[in-house]
């Protein structure tokens, strides 16, 4: 897909306008986000992504449109996994509920800028070295296996660990113990101090870079067009703040999400390896975008259904165990 500099400028300008509208309409004043508000804005961002994909269908054809939708759905599903870590970060830094949306907004913007750098670097490497598809494919297959191992381990207690950047910032810049509204810095006793608000924003933004290590190769497995890769990432990330508040309480019920994501990453990894072999001249079948889109949607649908079913069976069992423990305690007291 041949995209001019002017089109890049219009796209980035349009995305910036949407982000500004999101901020001034829903995120300018700190407040607790209701399920209704989160649901409306989530629907708006999904609708905007759908309209963009349909625009590609009309003006660029079915192939770019299919690649965008496959990339968007993949990035969106992978971003849901990010929300687990975001919940841990919010708890680690004890972020008040009214400030969480501001933290997520700025953190997601930091993540979007960093991902743009990753995408530019990835596109440059792919255009120069075709063999990098082997590395991307092998990495995704390894990541898929790692996700399965982690899911089988069923670790109940997980804690967020600060990365090196956050530790360096914390050592170099003195900070306050408490929050001061949405301020990032305050002056106290003549000293300029950093607030936890800035630290948690950096935590959200930089932690997402770790997720980009598998999500960027994954979307390059679906399309090698930098424009589609960037826009799919942008639309997936920009609705992440509202999705956090919408399904925050449902995250624990998605017990099979890691298995679903591992299947998707493994599938795309195999697709990348087949593409690399094809580029090398080997006579191997290539997986088309419609097939990729169908597999991704089917895996997500099955994963969600089995997760909700398993969670529904687990809840009564846990309630029964709780009642048994209470009865045992009462008997012991008597």
**Mean pLDDT value of segment 298-327:** 70
Residue 219 CB neighbours (<10 A):
27
Strands (E), 61-156: none
**Mean pLDDT value of segment 79-93:** 76
Q: What integer pLDDT is reported at residue 146 of this predicted model?
A: 81
| Residues 71/219, Cβ–Cβ less than 8 Å | yes
Torsion of CA 80, 83, 85, 86, to 10 degrees: 150
Cα 109–chain centre separation: 12
Q: What integer pLDDT is reported at residue 72 of this predicted model?
A: 92
**Mean pLDDT value of segment 257-284:** 83
Cα–Cα dist 292/275, whole Å: 13
Q: What integer pLDDT is reported at residue 170 of this predicted model?
A: 62
C-alpha neighbours within 13 Å on the C-beta side of residue 322:
6
**Mean pLDDT value of segment 190-206:** 80
**Mean pLDDT for all residues in the chain:** 79
pLDDT bin (cut points 50, 70, 90) of residue 326 is very low
DSSP H helices in 239-288 = 240-247, 257-279
Question: Which letter does DSSP use for residue 29 in this model?
Answer: S
Rounded to the nearest 5°, which phi and psi values hold at 193?
A: -115, 145
Cα–Cα dist 316/52, whole Å: 43
pLDDT bin (cut points 50, 70, 90) of residue 91 is confident
Residue range 31-60, pLDDT digits in tens: 777 878 888 888 899 999 999 999 999 999
Q: What integer pLDDT is reported at residue 245 of this predicted model?
A: 80
Cα 185–chain centre separation: 28
CA angle in degrees (0–180, nearest 5) for 208-213-218? 115
Q: Is the pLDDT of residue 287 over 50?
A: yes
Q: Is the pLDDT of residue 160 over 60?
A: no
Question: Tokens 């608000």, residue?
Answer: 197
Closest CA to 111 of 213, 184, 38: 213
CA angle in degrees (0–180, nearest 5) for 137-297-267? 20
Three-state DSSP at 239 gives coil
Q: Is the pLDDT of residue 15 over 80?
A: yes
Closest CA to 78 of 271, 273, 291, 299: 299
Torsion of CA 53, 57, 62, 63, to 10 degrees: -50
| Residues 78/222, Cβ–Cβ less than 8 Å | no
Cα–Cα dist 23/25, whole Å: 6
pLDDT bin (cut points 50, 70, 90) of residue 313 is confident
Strands (E), the chain: 185-188, 191-194
Three-state DSSP at 193 gives strand
Q: What integer pLDDT is reported at residue 137 of this predicted model?
A: 83
Q: What integer pLDDT is reported at residue 189 of this predicted model?
A: 75
Q: Is the pLDDT of residue 66 over 50?
A: yes
Q: What integer pLDDT is reported at residue 161 of this predicted model?
A: 56
**Mean pLDDT value of segment 158-166:** 57
Q: Residue 292 burial (CB < 10 Å; 0-12/13-18/19+)? A: buried
Q: What integer pLDDT is reported at residue 49 of this predicted model?
A: 93
**Residues facing residue 175 across a β-bridge:** 194
Label residues 226-245 b or e (16+ Cβ within 10 Å = b): bbbbbbbbbbbbbbbbbbbb
Residue range 210-252, pLDDT digits in tens: 767 777 888 888 888 999 999 999 998 888 888 888 776 566 6
């Amino acid at each position: 897909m041949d995209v001019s500099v002017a089109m890049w400028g219009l796209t980035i300008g349009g995305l910036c306008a949407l982000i500004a509208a999101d901020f001034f309409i829903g995120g300018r004043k700190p407040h607790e986000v209701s399920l209704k508000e989160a649901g409306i804005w989530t629907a708006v961002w999904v609708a905007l992504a759908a309209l963009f994909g349909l625009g590609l269908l009309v003006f660029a054809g079915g192939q770019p449109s299919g690649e965008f939708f496959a990339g968007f759905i993949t990035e969106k599903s992978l971003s849901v996994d990010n929300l687990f870590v975001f919940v841990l970060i919010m708890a680690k830094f004890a972020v008040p509920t009214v400030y969480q949306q501001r933290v997520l907004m700025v953190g997601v913007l930091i993540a979007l800028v960093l991902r743009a750098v990753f995408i530019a670097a990835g596109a440059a490497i792919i255009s120069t070295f075709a063999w990098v598809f082997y590395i991307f494919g092998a990495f995704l297959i390894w990541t898929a296996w790692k996700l399965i191992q982690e899911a089988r381990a069923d670790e109940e207690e997980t804690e967020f660990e600060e990365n090196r950047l956050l530790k360096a910032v914390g050592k170099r810049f003195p900070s306050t113990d408490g929050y001061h509204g949405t301020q990032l810095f305050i002056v106290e006793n003549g000293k300029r101090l950093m607030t936890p608000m800035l630290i948690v924003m950096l935590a959200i933004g930089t932690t997402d870079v770790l997720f980009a290590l598998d999500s960027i190769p994954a979307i390059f497995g679906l399309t090698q067009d930098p424009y589609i890769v960037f826009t799919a990432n942008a639309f997936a990330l920009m609705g992440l703040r509202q999705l956090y508040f919408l399904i925050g309480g449902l995250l624990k019920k998605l017990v099979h999400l890691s298995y679903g994501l591992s299947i998707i990453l493994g599938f795309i990894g195999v697709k990348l390896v087949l593409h690399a072999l094809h580029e090398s001249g080997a006579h191997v079948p290539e997986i088309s975008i419609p097939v990729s889109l169908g597999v991704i949607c089917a895996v997500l649908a099955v994963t969600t259904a089995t997760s909700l079913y398993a969670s529904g069976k687990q809840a009564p069992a846990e309630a029964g165990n709780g009642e048994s423990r209470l009865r045992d305690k009462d008997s012991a007291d008597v």
